[in-house]
Structure 1
Amino acid sequence: MATLRRLRDTPRHLLVCEKSNFGHEKSRHRHVVETHYYNYRVSFLIPECALLPQELKSLVTEFGPYYLVKNLPVHELISPEFINTFVKKGSCYALTYNTNIDEDNTVALLPSGKLILSLDKDTYEETGLQGHPSKYSGRKIMKFIVSIDLMDLSLNLISKKYERISWSFKEKKPLKFDFLFAWHNTGAQELAVVSYFGSYQIREHQPQVAVSSLGELPCPVLQSRELGGQPDASCGALELFDWLGAVCSDASLTNEPSDFVSTCCCPQPSTVLARACLCTITGFLLPEKVVLLLEQLRHYFDEPKLAPWLTLSVHGFADSPVSWREKEHGFRRGGEHLYSFVVFSNQDYWLQMAVGAEDDCPP
């Protein structure tokens, strides 16, 4: 019975798929990318390509910088100086580092100016702030979500509301975290960030880029008009999702009897690519940069290519308080929230968005 119960309790995972064309007036591709705020890995796969084109090579080296600020008090993020310097003059992103969403207090600053705090019950009560129970707490509420609109707060810095929040973070319940921080601004952002946080321990980081050439890669046959998969025509959406995950993770696709690590195999119908180029970028990656990458990948087909399609996959931080927009994100049984594009040479695309057990349906 124990075995049956474990199988019955297997966490659900949700995969939402749609197809469109980049030129369509109602295409949602840009909206989906821009509202998936916290990305730690971006991968793209180009079939029948030996070397990364120079345009793409230049773009992937410009994904940074981002910063790690140690022991930063939360009250710094609500100060008028911080709001005027960063929040009002660009897209500002901050996320607590080395915190677990299901166990620890976590904080995220969204580019909209919303400060989201996911707090345990004791911390929430000690702050005295207004919030609501996490929708993933279960019958015994252990986590609470607090949302503070910094743009609204900055309109009246002498209000009782601002004084209460400031007093809570400075005196009643001072909270400090290590934060990943990035700021999208056309000005001299590096000097601004380093100088502003000069009194704290701050370290600049650049994303890591890995490019590999794959040979003799088993590959499914894809037809842009057949997202659902048709017999002997194109593989199904779920099969494609699993295959792409295996390729990006460097998992074996042979399904050999002796392979105890991976039982993945290539969906049918399939072919074998003589070569393919896989590029992976890892770090604190801003959606503005992903938008530029997706646009550049679209233009890959401006000149005739052997490849009929390419892919772009983006993985979110498992322990961020949100997935898309302000949708609450949880971990407990699986912290994935990610999306993938299959870009076809005719500018059609497939979009696949996946979340785990502790998430609402993707947008």
Structure 2
Amino acid sequence: MTTLRRMREVPRHLLVCEKSHFGHEKSRHRHLVETHYHNYRVSFLIPECGVLSKELKDLVMEIGPYYLVKNLPLHELITLDFINTFVKKGSCCALTYNTSIDEDNTVALLPNGKLILSLDKDTYEEIGLQGHPSQYSSRKIMKFIVSIDLMDLSFHPDSKKYQRISWSFKEKKPLKFDFLLAWHHAGSEDSAMMSYFSNYRIQEHQPKIALSTLADLQCPVLQSGQLQGMSEVACTAQELFDWLGAVYSNVELNNEPTNFISTYCCPQPSTVVAKACLCTLTGFILPEKICLLLEQLCRYFDEPKLAPWVTLSVQGFADSPVSWKENEHGFRKGGEHLYNFVIFNNWDYWLQMAVGANDDCPP
């Protein structure tokens, strides 16, 4: 007896591509990195390289810690002490841990001082703060978004606004979450956050680093001026994006007829490089750290190299309430929001930004 199964519709996604030069006065590369706040995984690939340079290796090892705080009351993030110590100094990010954006209450703190709450209908009605329905709600609205600006000049203990929010979080609807937190401020000690939350269960973590050398890697031939959506003579943007995903996922690329697990092959035209260095960091990684890594990858070409290009790819947390800036993010069938740089040896670059079914077009 044969059972026929209908293939599910492939989830819709958006891939936006642009090209520029790092030295161009209107280049958006830094802005796009700095406004993608909640980063889960950072990977870079360097063809024709067997060992990382000392500069790159040192930078990878010094990305810095992040913290997991258990059962942290939400009102702790709106105290004046926390705002003055962390939010107003440097870059501070927070994200609820092990919460699902489509089903649970989730909270994110952005480096610009915005506290974003994605709440279910019951919690929203109980908490009593002004917000708006999620733009991805169905006819029956089940999720609401509340945004609180911690940097607002009127946000002080004597204002009605502050007292209202504080009362909501502490008395009317006390909420507790496990939070991931990270903070960067030049000249400050990494232990400052450990000390501040010492009354709670706090753990310090370092990003996990996976470094490998890939032998005889088949790579697409890329020319900086050939970024195209559709082309018969060059690797398309979508093909490159898929190929990088396969490399990062350790997918076999030989397309052997006996390989029933994967029949994927490298886009054409292609070439085989003897060695390629692949490095992946996984954790809670601040945009400022990624900016430093991007700058160091650009400087990789200060001296002549065999590699004509390198790549840097960054994945956001699938269950973050936002993708870029304050753009609302949803999950539904796919929670991806990520970007990829292809950095050429002449400092030209391609930038690819991708989002899933419940997202606006990337900025």
1:224 aligns with 2:220: no
1:358 aligns with 2:358: yes
RMSD: 1.4
Aligned ranges 1:71-82 → 2 under 5 Å: 71-82=71-82
CA distance 1:154–1:55, change in 2 (3 Å): farther
CA distance in 2, matches of 1:230, 1:14: 19
Q: Which residue matches 2:236?
A: 236
| Other structure's SS at 1:190 match | coil
Aligned ranges 1:19-168 → 2 under 5 Å: 19-152=19-152, 155-168=155-168
CA distance in 1, matches of 2:278, 2:15: 23
Question: Which residue type is aligned with residue 75 of structure 1?
Answer: H
1:265-321 CA-to-partner distances (Å, cap 9, x unmatched) read 100111111110001111100100000000000011110000111100000000000
Over the matched positions of the two proteins, sequence identity in percent amounts to 75
| Other structure's SS at 1:76 match | helix
CA distance 1:290–1:222, change in 2 (3 Å): same
In 2, are the aligned partners of 1:334 and 1:357 still within 8 Å (CA)? yes
| Other structure's SS at 1:27 match | coil
1:204-223 CA-to-partner distances (Å, cap 9, x unmatched) read 00011111000111111101
In 2, are the aligned partners of 1:93 and 1:182 still within 8 Å (CA)? yes
Deviation of 1:262 after TM superposition, in Å, equals: 2.5
In 2, are the aligned partners of 1:83 and 1:154 still within 8 Å (CA)? no
Q: Which residue matches 2:207?
A: 207
CA distance in 1, matches of 2:264, 2:119: 39
CA distance in 1, matches of 2:97, 2:103: 13
In 2, are the aligned partners of 1:336 and 1:355 still within 8 Å (CA)? yes
Question: Which residue type is aligned with residue 311 of structure 2?
Answer: T
| Other structure's SS at 2:256 match | coil
**TM-score of the superposition, structure 2-length normalised?**
0.96
1:2-58 CA-to-partner distances (Å, cap 9, x unmatched) read 977x65x43211000000011111000000100000111100000000101110000
CA distance in 2, matches of 1:339, 1:258: 33
In 1, are the aligned partners of 2:155 and 2:162 still within 8 Å (CA)? no
| Other structure's SS at 1:289 match | helix
Question: Which residue type is aligned with residue 184 of structure 1?
Answer: H
CA distance in 2, matches of 1:179, 1:256: 45
Q: Which residue matches 1:186?
A: 186
In 1, are the aligned partners of 2:155 and 2:161 still within 8 Å (CA)? no
Q: Which residue matches 1:295?
A: 295
CA distance 1:169–1:126, change in 2 (3 Å): same
CA distance in 2, matches of 1:153, 1:162: 11
Question: Which residue type is aligned with residue 43 of structure 2?
Answer: S
| Other structure's SS at 2:88 match | helix
CA distance in 2, matches of 1:138, 1:287: 33
Corresponding pairs, count: 359
In 2, are the aligned partners of 1:255 and 1:265 still within 8 Å (CA)? yes
Q: Which moved more, 1:55-64 or 1:185-194?
A: 185-194
Deviation of 1:160 after TM superposition, in Å, equals: 1.3
In 1, are the aligned partners of 2:80 and 2:156 still within 8 Å (CA)? no
CA distance 1:105–1:267, change in 2 (3 Å): same
Runs of 4+ residues over 4 Å off in structure 1: none
CA distance in 2, matches of 1:168, 1:315: 34
Question: Which residue type is aligned with residue 311 of structure 1?
Answer: T
Q: Which residue matches 1:341?
A: 341
CA distance in 1, matches of 2:67, 2:189: 11
Deviation of 1:245 after TM superposition, in Å, equals: 0.7
CA distance in 1, matches of 2:290, 2:247: 20
Question: Which residue type is aligned with residue 161 of structure 2?
Answer: K
Q: Which residue matches 1:310?
A: 310
Q: Which residue matches 2:329?
A: 329
Deviation of 1:147 after TM superposition, in Å, equals: 0.2
CA distance in 1, matches of 2:64, 2:189: 11
Deviation of 1:88 after TM superposition, in Å, equals: 0.9
**TM-score of the superposition, structure 1-length normalised?**
0.96
| Other structure's SS at 1:349 match | strand
In 1, are the aligned partners of 2:336 and 2:356 still within 8 Å (CA)? yes
1:52-93 CA-to-partner distances (Å, cap 9, x unmatched) read 111000000111210001100000000111111111111110
CA distance in 1, matches of 2:168, 2:144: 16
| Other structure's SS at 1:254 match | coil
Question: Which residue type is aligned with residue 273 of structure 2?
Answer: L
In 2, are the aligned partners of 1:75 and 1:170 still within 8 Å (CA)? yes
Question: Which residue type is aligned with residue 210 of structure 1?
Answer: A
